[in-house]
Amino acid sequence: MRVIVLAMLLSLLALLASTGHAAPGAPARPNVLILLADDLGWADVGYRGSEIQTPNIDRLAEEGVRLERFYSAPICSPTRAALMTGRDPLKLGMAYDQIHPWYNGGLPPGAYTIAGAFKDAGYQTGLVGKWHLGHTQQHQLPNAHGFESFHGHLHTNTDYFAHEREGAHDLQQNGKSVRLEGQYLTHVQARESVRFIEQRDSDRPFFLYVAFTAPHSPMQAPEEAVDRYAHLPEKNYRRTYAAMVDEMDRAVGAILDSLERQGIADHTLVLFFSDNGGFRSFGGNNAPLRGQKGETFEGGIRVPAVVRWPGHLTAGAQIDHLISVMDVLPTLASAAGVPLVQDRPLDGIDMWTAISNGEAAPEREPIFFASEIPLPGMIHLAVIDGSWKLVQIVREGQTETRVRTLLFEIEEDPLEQTDLSEQHPEVAQRLAQKIRDWRSLHPMAGLRGTLVPHPGWVAPHDWAEAVTPSRLLQPSWKNELPFSKALIDATAERGVLVDEATRRELERLEETSRSGWAPAER
């Protein structure tokens, strides 16, 4: 009888753990809330002295930990891919460019995502806002990647009032179009985030990802918001940009207030950051950092970031460890006690003890950055390896390629003012080779920059209705072209032609051929 009771107790504890409950006296898993700004400049938050009012983001910084060396990708889709998967977006074919409406790429079927990991651990999962990781086939959408609830838009550059991209309606809830014309998108995102929190199943923890559209273009804000910044110049949309950041901060405040009303603020881990640096032509300010969105100087990739979890993190603290957006998945999973499937490789590392206890950061491999935006053939690259950072600007022409190389001691020179490539040519050469080796991992059919649609492409009327449902797609598919190892080797420097499993099989067959043995014919 005692054995049976003990077995029942163990089963109950396992069930409680899987659903986020805790046994008496044990801490329950926290709620996790990610707030992602879009194109927010390094200097455009109040806690850095900005003229833009951001009291709610500032509150997170005062009550949490400022992550002062947090790196995103220089453009949006790669950051979101890294956030969702913990993988290097280059390996996913999404490093050089964003996903334009005329592209049909996106996350692959069965991708291991942060939402899926938290869902498997018993969390209720939701996404509000911008997806931008695929829009043409059902398996690319949020609901196929671990999000039980999705209210938002699939594209970037979606009109804030008409909710359209390329003239096609782009606002939906779980695959069904939602018509809210005239309502400002940031207000919609605030309302839907609060609705998710207040209508949640209070018996389970939640994972909520709020991907704000603001302050990304088109540069639009309510008139009263723009009037609050009438003292700012209109040049480069600075006045409207400030209003958009202000409205986003108010949305952050509404979400934080809902946590307070629900009595769960102290039991919710909140991470806020931007998907890349600000874009000067649309009002962003990254001073004193060099560069902007689309570039691999610090202003394009080093972004405002704060994390708050009352009672677990020291209020008002700051850490200067290098943290990549690829680290978010393993770090938040570690903080929440969410197990990760061990046979699904991650490129990010767990930084939780470094953030929460001030411990030394784990050793890490170099991290890389790339962008081919806004000009096709103008490629911005960088690698950070310890205290060194190499920046390359590659201009691909029809008959020649020009490369500008700059080397910085990034910890001593975060403003990237002193190029050391001539003083340390051996370091520059070593890091340049690392970039070449890294770029060879990119799928050859991955996304590369195009400014306009492919010939013959036209937009649908409604993006939600234009998605190809899974029932019309093959459950699995294999490229039947006659690849050979010689072909793969010949194209290796340009990228990955086939997946790793296919490569291994070709190598096995070649080895078999050299040994004189071949499988019997059937």
| Domain residue limits, the chain | 32-357, 367-439, 485-522
Put residue 14 in one of left, alpha, beta given phi > 0 → left and psi -120 to 50 → alpha. alpha
How many helices (H) and strands (E) would you count in the chain?
13, 18
266 contact partners, CB below 8 Å, separation of at least 6: 310, 311
- pLDDT for 514 equals 61
16-22, long-range: CB within 8 Å, 24+ apart, which pairs?
17/122, 18/121, 18/122, 19/122, 19/203, 19/204, 20/121, 20/122, 20/123, 20/204, 20/205, 21/203
The answer, yes or no, to whether the previous bond of 376 is cis (omega within 30 of 0) is: no
Report the Cα 253 to chain-centroid distance in Å: 22
Q: Please choose, from the candidates 10, 4, 70, the residue with its C-alpha nearest in 3D space to the C-alpha of residue 37.
A: 70
Query: How far does the chain reach from its first CA to its final CA, in angstroms?
Result: 58
Amino acid (one-letter) located at 342? Q
- pLDDT for 6 equals 42
76, 100, 163, 321: the active-site residue = 76
Q: Return the CATH architecture of domain 367-439.
A: 2-Layer Sandwich (3.30)
Secondary structure of 328-391 in HEC code, one letter for each residue: HHHHHHHHHCCCCCCCCCCCCCCCHHHHHHCCCCCCCCCEEEEECCCCCCEEEEEEEECCEEEE
Q: Are strands 124-130 and 65-67 parallel, antiparallel or unpaired?
A: unpaired
- pLDDT for 28 equals 82
132, 153, 163, 216: the active-site residue = 132
Active site residue 132: yes
**Which secondary structure element, helix H or strand E, spans residue 396, and what is its range?**
strand 388-396
Pick the CATH number of 32-357 from 3.20.20.70, 3.40.250.10, 3.40.50.720, 3.40.720.10: 3.40.720.10
DSSP 83-102: HHHSS-TTTTT-SSS---TT
Backbone angles phi, psi at 425, to 5 degrees: -65, -30
Q: What is the DSSP letter of 204?
A: S
CA distance 186 to 191: 9
CA distance 111 to 142: 11
- pLDDT for 273 equals 98
Active site residue 21: no
- pLDDT for 12 equals 43
CA distance 68 to 171: 34
CA distance 340 to 262: 29
Q: In this structure, are residues 249 and 57 in contact, taking their beta carbons and an 8 Å threshold?
A: yes
Q: In this structure, are residues 288 and 49 in contact, taking their beta carbons and an 8 Å threshold?
A: no
pTM above 0.95, yes or no: no
CA distance 128 to 1: 50
Mean pLDDT by 10 residues, the chain (522 residues): 44 42 54 98 98 98 98 98 98 95 93 97 98 97 98 98 98 98 98 98 97 98 98 95 98 98 97 98 98 98 98 96 98 97 92 92 95 94 98 95 98 98 98 97 91 94 97 83 82 81 66 55 37
91 contact partners, CB below 8 Å, separation of at least 6: 347, 441, 442, 443
- pLDDT for 39 equals 98
Residue located via tokens 């340390």 = 424
> Alpha helices of 457-499 — where are they, by DSSP H?
485-490
Tokens read off for 429: 């050469």
CA distance 52 to 56: 12
